[in-house]
Chain A
Amino acid sequence: MKGAALKLVMVGKRFKGKAGPTEALRDINLNISEGEFVTIVGPSGCGKSTLLNIVAGLEESTTGWVEMNGHRVHGPGAERIVVFQDGAVFPWLDVWGNIQFGLRVAGVRRAERETRVEEYVRMVQLEKFAHARMHELSGGMRQRVALARALVLRPRVLLMDEPFAALDVHTREEMQTVVQDLWLKSGTTTLFVTHDVREAAVLGGRIVVLSQRPGTVSAVLTNNAPRPRKLDHPEVAEQIRRSNEILKAEVQWSNQDKVPL
């Protein structure tokens, strides 16, 4: 299924915290075309995960709204699937059981379910581990299960919430390649949140840089490096440098802001 277009209109979020109200996000406007891969990078606590949860419908925005193909979204839906930081794979199920979870919920018939699960087990190269349980897998393998579990539902939008943050550098780069390859094959609109500028630059067709809290869009960089990309591609390196510059300026500016006059 083709990816959907996403439109974020004046999205803002306030929390009623214990230390009074906090503003997590302010006036986020974004237009994402069908099949685009957009990365969102920002300092920790800038509300980027909140933004993703709002798009997923797992949290409500305080102001503004999210449109998918011109229709406002309300609540969670299987056409917008999130891959969480720790994967949130289910330890009581094996690899196969995890991947078929959403299909069973949707009531997909057994025969079709089997074919689809098999296809995605193969796609993330876990054939040998189809009946392994989660504690028997490495962190990278668990994230592949999470990825397959999301993609098997053929979502119109894939939302990834720092999915590789907990992985070691080597596995992380390997997973970036996996995600890139899967995206090239599926063409699913992907919104990928990370605090790692290098990751944002190697994956994103566009890189959205968020400011410190309250998160606003500081810059949107277009990244035309040819795919499949590697970290050492000159254009990727250039994007990393530019994003870092923006982030650094952002942090300095907001620190200055806090100095009492």
Chain B
Amino acid sequence: MVESRQGPVVTSDREPSVWRRVRDLVPIVLIAIAFVALWELLIRVVPDSIWPRYLFPGPAQVATSLVSLWTGGLLLRAVVATLARLGVGFLISLVLGAILAFLMVHFHTFGKGIQPYVLGLQTFPSIAWVPLALIWFGFSEAALLFVTIVGSLFAVTVSFADALRTVPPVYLKAARNMGSDGMDLILRVTVPAALPHLISAAKIGWSFAWRSLIGAEVIFATVGLGFLVNQGRDNLNLPQVMGMMVVILVIGVLVDRGVFSRTQEWASRRRGLLPSG
């Protein structure tokens, strides 16, 4: 047997080294530094008479504001509250989206009929759900969750359905031939076969959930990141407004890179879908 003497062709399921991860971070950090430097430069060049400082604070003022929010405990409370809402809302969205997507793929006619509505609802601005949420649930946690869920559910459904459709029929055929069917077939074949695409789908869904939640918080929350942005506006505290925007951005980047990109990479690497280099 000629081939069994050869080693494995590629060994690409190795984790990238720590050094590689650090190296990947360098350009990202450099961009942040450049941005802050440019910002500071603008503050020094543009005279206060043209663009008053209270409307256009510099990085130092923003940082000071963030530090005081942190030491006062407000910031941490807001982060915890927002992430908790996001966690619950996004999870519900994932479960409902998975069920809907499965029904759409499994029942072809149903899927075809409902597809345009789901697509329409996906592009529907989540803020437009806020009045309905307030009337149904009042100024409550439930209203915030509602907006988070409806703001992400349809994006999750569409991308989950797309992910499920990528499963090559021959895998299902082979598995059915070996006696698998029903739930067994879904869990043993459909889900693992679609996994890299399912993770991308979850990533899309999370960004929708995050956007919807922050939006709703700006409008009517009494605690949370979006609330702190709006509180800054109410007090004409521009450093707080900008500072909170930075926090929201940073959390977005961290979740995207830390959670989704890493799981995605892991799933693809296991399948040999990524080069090892």
Contact = CB atoms under 8 A, between A and B. Distances in A.
Contact of B173 (A84, A101, A125, A138): A84
Interface string B170-197: 1101111111100010001100110100
A102 to B, nearest CB: 4
Contacts of B13: 133
A103 to B, nearest CB: 9
B270 A90 contact: no
Contact of A58 (B4, B12, B173): B173
Which of B12, B13, B170, B174 lies at the interface centre, i.e. has the most chain A CB atoms within 10 A of its CB?
Answer: B174
A105 B8 CA distance: 28
Contacts of B189: 90
Contacts of A101: 175, 178, 188
Given A88-B173, A92-B195, A132-B8, A105 B1 contact: no
A171 B3 contact: yes
Interface string A23-43: 000000000000000000000
B171 A90 contact: yes
Given A90-B193, A92-B192, A105 B179 contact: yes
B11 interface: yes
Interface string A188-203: 0000000000000000
A90 B272 CA distance: 12
Interface in A69-126: 76-78, 80-82, 84, 86, 88, 90-93, 101-102, 104-106, 125-126
Nearest to B11: A136
Contacts of A149: 178
B8 A136 contact: yes
Given A128-B4, A141-B4, A135 B178 contact: no
Given A58-B177, A171-B3, A91 B271 contact: yes
A125 B10 contact: no
A141 B7 CA distance: 12
A207 interface: no
A113 to B, nearest CB: 14
A140 B174 CA distance: 18
Given A88-B171, A134-B272, A105 B10 contact: no
A183 interface: no
A126 B5 CA distance: 10
A137 B6 CA distance: 10
A153 interface: yes
Nearest to A152: B178
B3 A138 contact: yes
Contact of B178 (A78, A93, A128): A78
A133 B178 contact: no
A86 B13 CA distance: 23
Contacts of A170: 2
Interface in B1-29: 1-4, 6, 8-13
Nearest to A136: B8
B155 to A, nearest CB: 25
A148 to B, nearest CB: 13
B4 A81 contact: no
B271 A88 contact: no
A170 B3 CA distance: 11
A23 to B, nearest CB: 23
A174 interface: yes
A188 B25 CA distance: 58
Contacts of A77: 179
A84 B177 CA distance: 11
B3 A84 contact: no
Nearest to A89: B174
Contacts of B180: 105
A125 B168 CA distance: 28
Contacts of B188: 101, 104-105
A92 B178 contact: no
Given A137-B9, A171-B3, A56 B272 contact: no
Contact of A82 (B3, B10, B12, B174): B174
A140 B177 contact: no
Given A76-B176, A101-B188, A106-B179, A136 B10 contact: yes
A84 B4 CA distance: 22
A129 B173 CA distance: 25
A136 B3 contact: no
Contact of B1 (A106, A136, A174): A174
A105 B178 contact: yes
A125 B9 contact: no
11 contacts: A58-B176, A76-B177, A91-B271, A91-B272, A92-B193, A92-B270, A128-B4, A133-B13, A135-B10, A136-B10, A141-B3
Task: Please name the 4 residue pairs, one residue from A and one from B, whose CB atoms are nearest each other, closest first.
Answer: A135-B272, A102-B178, A136-B8, A88-B174
Given A105-B175, A133-B270, A135-B10, 5 more contacts: A105-B179, A105-B184, A125-B1, A129-B4, A136-B272
